[in-house]
Structure 1
Amino acid sequence: MNLSFARGMLRGALVLAIATATAASGATAAQAAAPRITLTAMAFEHTSVDASSGSAVDDLTWTVKNTDPEANGLYGSITLRMRSSATGAFVGHERVVDFAYDRTCCGGAEFVSGTPQESTYKYSFGVPRYSDAATTTWEVTKLTASSNGLTLSVGAAKLATFASKVTATTEADTDGPSLESLMLVTSNPARPYRYVADGTARVTYDFGAQDQQSGFWKGSLKLTGPGGQSVTTPFTWEYSEYSTDTRCGDVYGGDLYYMSCRISAILPQGAAAGRWQVAQIVLVNNAGVRSVFRNPQVDGVTVTSNAVLSADNFAISPTEADNWRGNVSGTVTFDVAGLSGGLSSVEADFGPYSRCDQRGPATLDGTKVTVTFVMWQRSTDCTLTGLAIVDGAGTLALYGSNYGAPDPGLKVRRKPNTTPPVVTGATIDPATISLSQLGERSPLLRIQAEILTAPINGIDVKLYAADGEVVYQSTGGSGQRPDGTIEDWISLSPWGGIEPGTYTVGFRLSDEGGLYSTWGMLDRTDSKPVPGGPVTLTITEG
């Protein structure tokens, strides 16, 4: 091999190796320099305070660094927990405090100074007076921060390297929370029934949890049913995601000293049929003290899968009702199977908005049950949305969407309105009037119309001069009499520019179903001639 050529290859290989190494080193340096957020300082002003009189405040200050030069903001939160000196475990609800760059109001922590690249915050922590012992420790257990897509989450291990704890002299809370205003929540229909054959069922209770010392923390609600079945639902209050409110279950507001809760227990599919009751409510305060309330006096619910008592062959009559001019009565019928002790009650619900209502108790003829209802005047439709059947033994069967139960498929529709108003004739009285009488007397337009499906409820009137110009018009409501007559007064003024002459009267009639027809209107192409000839009003001199 040529020696010079070999040396050239070696030199080139060395250059390539050095370049590759340099490139790799540059990439590593670039990765190391990627923007990130770090916690650089955190400390309580005092490591110990005396909160036994309830007036201790300790300032917690921390600094967050953001190496992103483009950052224009920062936000996050800190979490504090109380550690029991008696058990060594955390006890009580966490305290979550929000902070944000340049925010100095509105609760949470205060922005002290700095830029989005390095900012300092302060939280004046009111150390609670009560705990489970004469001393306790509060610790920062978590810090999170976000900025322009960068995030930071600092856990307890890292926070322990800072002065993130304060020891407090406290007063021991030995009394548990009290339970107030326990009540079963019912919706529409307001009946304590639940159907569980096809899915789960929700049972909801409202109550207040009060603790004037360390405050309410958490609890549990236990329901028991037939055969020893039970459901236990734990709960606690939470911070609202989009506001400064707190919530306990489905109720927002309140504070930890008096919290209103709405807690739902979920009965499983196929839960035992029969009566389910609240067996126990446990409330725990922030010192870990429990209050147990066994068998409180409150309504329970009756559960069914329609396995014992059931119904079929559902029918409704009429399926189409002419309720344009009055209420219409109807019946729901069905067959029952599995009755024990006869029929105790049947409760039928119709939707939407109670357009139909049950009238009186149901009747039983053999296995055939009849329920009478009324469909109110002008209701467009109604559907059977709930049917609760109870026999003499207290066994329950449920049907309809109100209960999440099988749908009987029963609906009544209003008779459709397909024909607009039909006029058979019209007159005006007086047909001739002097100009001077116009302020004293108004001509009466009397229209004869057919009695059709929907009642006539509106009339528009126009008065046309000989050249077709409209010299008077009015719009208003009007009722149709039992003989089909509609009347409307034409109120003219002698000072309204009306001159002597003969005028043609045209009108439009509309009904409650939204249909209309026009008659004798000279400026409308859809207008029909008035049967018996045009209606005219003659105004004379004098």
Structure 2
Amino acid sequence: MEGEKSRGIEHADMTHSTPGPRPSITIQYNGVESVANMLLRQRALRVTTALAVAVALTAGVPAVAFAGSADGDIRLSALDLSPATVDASTGSATANLTWTITDSNASASTVQGTVEIRQRAADGEFTGPAYDVPFGLTQTATGDVSANYPATAQSSSYSYTFQVPQYVAGTAAVWAVERVTASDDQSDSLDAGSATLNRFASSVTATELQDASVPKIANVSFDNADQPTYLYDVGVSPTVGYLIEVTSADAGFWHGELHLRNTAGRTLDAAFSLQYGFDGSTSCGNGPDAGVNWGASDVMCDVVVSIPAGSPAGTWTLDSVQLTDTAGAKAKYSHLGELPVQVTDDSKLQAGDFSLNPTSVNNWSSVQKIALSLTPTGATGGISTVVVDTNPGCGGSTTQSPAVSADGSLTVSISMPPIYQKQCSVTGIAVVDGAGDVAVYGSTFDGPALNLVANQIPDTSAPVALSASLSSPTTTSTQGELLSVDVSSFAGVGEMDVEVYDSTTGTSAYYQYGGVTWTTSGTLKWGINLSGVAPGTYTVAFTLIDNGGLSTAYGYAPSASSNSQPMPGGPLQFTVAAS
């Protein structure tokens, strides 16, 4: 950027500036302000300090009048930035900008545009980031706003409060309107530059603090915890995302550039910058986490880089990062050698004959291992590593120096967790040989999907109670009872319902359901709380529910459950004696 100045890297302690309030647009009529649905041209606010933005559409804003700026229907007829001087060293200085747009086209019904404010150097050239202020007008009624307010596309006036930055490269700066653009719905437009703006009071001179720091890298990582470290290049550019946290104590972060380098000596550059949306939101970079920011002093930049298709196979690393703050201070962090990814086109090393065994898995009782077989060809120095990725919930694997059979095949494994994992599929396979060559397959690496799927064996057998007993034939309401049930279950019992009812009347005296210690074969115990149960004879019933959702009921009266099975060993009854 013309006019930027570079200073040496400093390592002073840094503090974080506090972002200002989010910008808002209001429309004023009859002395009352109400939020309006403005027709805005969506331009990012390339600012590096949080702005207290308040753009107001008003009628009759005082301004320096001028007949027109150029031939055409739309004109900038008034503009004023005041006061002429401010002291911004405390960080609280503001300047008021007002302007009026006129449109001689009587058919125009809307107008919209942008005012750009920027630092102007002594030689008249503009430098640093632009503070862009979108504005717009619509006559569509919204909420409390009616269509008959005084402002029209033919004459509308605006005001904006500019938060003057606190830090610059020196101790003073001139901030000026660099450009005003506008357009209507009749294809008319305005692009007013210095020739027009110099006729107005369009600048303010500020006393400011000198920027005494440079932006720093606080952290760098992949932007995705599942970012594959092997990339498949078959005519489609593979991508890799980097998350770079930048801190900038004084002036605030502006823009940067990261540099990748591969083992063949090629380099790749990617630029990124901090941008503000008109709603006050911030973003930096082009990746999914570009909007996770804390003002200009602590910025998370998510930069996704496309590695050109046809690049030589080899490893790319994040080699260096250059950062620039809003005052032009630069810092370059070189020879990082971070976050390697290896690009391959599978031309030297290949693999095939993929298969899973078994493809129907009984994982109802425990974690199950599933064998993945494959046959590599073209390997140099044997096979050093096989990496297998799976769908979420399943367990992939990384196997070092796997044994190769006489037929040239090798076997590694994935794992299928118990009970709730219904399916495991292989989404990616990476094979690395002793020379470091790589072959990759599957959707993990943006290749064709692999048809390697293992499914859980369905649960078709309901649980069975082999026997059931009580701890005592006679108890009291304070002692309670202990129910023991020996079970057999293909999918494992994970839940029980237990009910106690009066043996004479059939009235329920106790009911509870919940999880039990999971088992396919063994004894389940259930404590029955008889608090408040009157003396008498009672019968116990229960339902076993397995992890596949199948159930079997025992001991219920036919009127309560027509599908209930007889209690093994006869009815479970006990007497509650008086305490």
In which range does the TM-score fall when normalised by the shorter chain? Answer: 0.7 to 0.9
**1:390 equivalenced with 2:459 (yes/no):** no
Residue 126 (structure 1) shift: 1.6
- Asked whether the equivalents of residues 231 and 342 of structure 2 are also in contact (C-alpha less than 8 Å), the reply is yes
- Asked whether the equivalents of residues 131 and 171 of structure 1 are also in contact (C-alpha less than 8 Å), the reply is no
- Asked whether the equivalents of residues 127 and 168 of structure 1 are also in contact (C-alpha less than 8 Å), the reply is no
Identify which of structures 1 and 2 has the higher relative contact order when contacts are C-alpha pairs closer than 8 Å and 6+ apart.
Answer: 2
**1:262 equivalenced with 2:307 (yes/no):** no
**1:471 equivalenced with 2:512 (yes/no):** no
Residue 393 (structure 1) shift: 0.7
- Asked whether the equivalents of residues 373 and 409 of structure 2 are also in contact (C-alpha less than 8 Å), the reply is yes
Residue type matched to 1:515 in 2?
A: L
CA distance in 1, matches of 2:505, 2:552: 23
**For residues 262-411 of structure 1, what are the structure 2 equivalents within 5 Å?**
262-286=302-326, 293-355=333-395, 362-366=402-406, 367-380=408-421, 381-411=423-453
**1:462 equivalenced with 2:500 (yes/no):** yes
CA displacement, residues 488-536 of structure 1 (integer Å, 9 cap, x when unaligned): 344435x52343x5x4432211111221122232244442331557514
Residue 399 (structure 1) shift: 2.5
**For residues 406-425 of structure 1, what are the structure 2 equivalents within 5 Å?**
406-425=448-467
Q: 2:548 aligns with which of 492, 513, 525?
A: 513
Change (3 A) 1:345 1:127: closer
CA displacement, residues 295-323 of structure 1 (integer Å, 9 cap, x when unaligned): 43423321112121121111122222222
CA distance in 2, matches of 1:228, 1:239: 36
Q: 2:202 aligns with which of 160, 165, 172?
A: 165
Give unpaired runs (5+ residues) of structure 1.
1-35, 68-72, 102-113
- Asked whether the equivalents of residues 419 and 491 of structure 2 are also in contact (C-alpha less than 8 Å), the reply is no
Give the structure 1 partner of residue 477 of structure 2. Answer: 439
- Asked whether the equivalents of residues 387 and 430 of structure 2 are also in contact (C-alpha less than 8 Å), the reply is yes
CA displacement, residues 315-355 of structure 1 (integer Å, 9 cap, x when unaligned): 12222222222222332111111111112222223331344
**1:203 equivalenced with 2:240 (yes/no):** yes
Q: 1:183 aligns with which of 220, 230, 235?
A: 220
- Asked whether the equivalents of residues 228 and 444 of structure 2 are also in contact (C-alpha less than 8 Å), the reply is no
Q: 1:92 aligns with which of 123, 128, 151?
A: 128
160-169 vs 257-266, which deviates more?
160-169
Give the structure 1 partner of residue 24 of structure 2. Answer: none
Q: Give aligned-pair identity as a percent.
A: 23
- Asked whether the equivalents of residues 215 and 330 of structure 2 are also in contact (C-alpha less than 8 Å), the reply is no
Change (3 A) 1:540 1:490: closer
Change (3 A) 1:462 1:37: farther
CA distance in 1, matches of 2:162, 2:486: 83
- Asked whether the equivalents of residues 327 and 375 of structure 1 are also in contact (C-alpha less than 8 Å), the reply is yes
Residue type matched to 1:61 in 2?
A: T
CA displacement, residues 341-373 of structure 1 (integer Å, 9 cap, x when unaligned): 112222223331344656776332353122134
Structure of greater Rg: 1
In the superposition, the TM-score normalised over structure 2's length comes to 0.69
**1:155 equivalenced with 2:191 (yes/no):** yes
- Asked whether the equivalents of residues 169 and 329 of structure 2 are also in contact (C-alpha less than 8 Å), the reply is no
In the superposition, the TM-score normalised over structure 1's length comes to 0.73
Change (3 A) 1:64 1:464: farther
Residue 423 (structure 1) shift: 3.5
Give the structure 2 partner of residue 5 of structure 1. Answer: none
Partner SS for 2:339: coil
CA displacement, residues 77-112 of structure 1 (integer Å, 9 cap, x when unaligned): 5321334444x54322110246799xxxxxxxxxxx
Give the structure 1 partner of residue 21 of structure 2. Answer: none
CA displacement, residues 158-211 of structure 1 (integer Å, 9 cap, x when unaligned): 952751522647899899955524634163446532222262222233335566
CA distance in 1, matches of 2:352, 2:565: 56
Residue 273 (structure 1) shift: 0.9
CA distance in 2, matches of 1:323, 1:129: 63
Residue 391 (structure 1) shift: 1.1
Change (3 A) 1:505 1:462: same
CA displacement, residues 117-176 of structure 1 (integer Å, 9 cap, x when unaligned): 665524245266536998756224135699xx9999753249527515226478998999
Give unpaired runs (5+ residues) of structure 2.
1-72, 105-109, 138-148
CA distance in 2, matches of 1:348, 1:232: 31
Residue 235 (structure 1) shift: 2.2
Partner SS for 2:444: helix
CA distance in 2, matches of 1:361, 1:463: 64
Residue 220 (structure 1) shift: 2.8
Residue 538 (structure 1) shift: 5.3
CA distance in 1, matches of 2:111, 2:201: 21
CA distance in 2, matches of 1:172, 1:488: 74
Give the structure 1 partner of residue 257 of structure 2. Answer: 220
Give the structure 1 partner of residue 11 of structure 2. Answer: none
- Asked whether the equivalents of residues 238 and 306 of structure 2 are also in contact (C-alpha less than 8 Å), the reply is yes
Give the structure 2 partner of residue 239 of structure 1. Answer: 276
Give the structure 2 partner of residue 8 of structure 1. Answer: none
Root mean square deviation, CA, Å = 4.4
Change (3 A) 1:527 1:38: farther
CA distance in 1, matches of 2:481, 2:210: 87
CA distance in 1, matches of 2:273, 2:181: 22
Residue type matched to 2:254 in 1?
A: W
**For residues 16-95 of structure 1, what are the structure 2 equivalents within 5 Å?**
40-46=77-83, 58-63=95-100, 78-86=115-123, 89-95=125-131
Give the structure 2 partner of residue 123 of structure 1. Answer: 161
Partner SS for 1:300: strand
Give the structure 2 partner of residue 527 of structure 1. Answer: 563
Residue type matched to 2:571 in 1?
A: V
128-137 vs 411-420, which deviates more?
128-137
Change (3 A) 1:42 1:151: farther
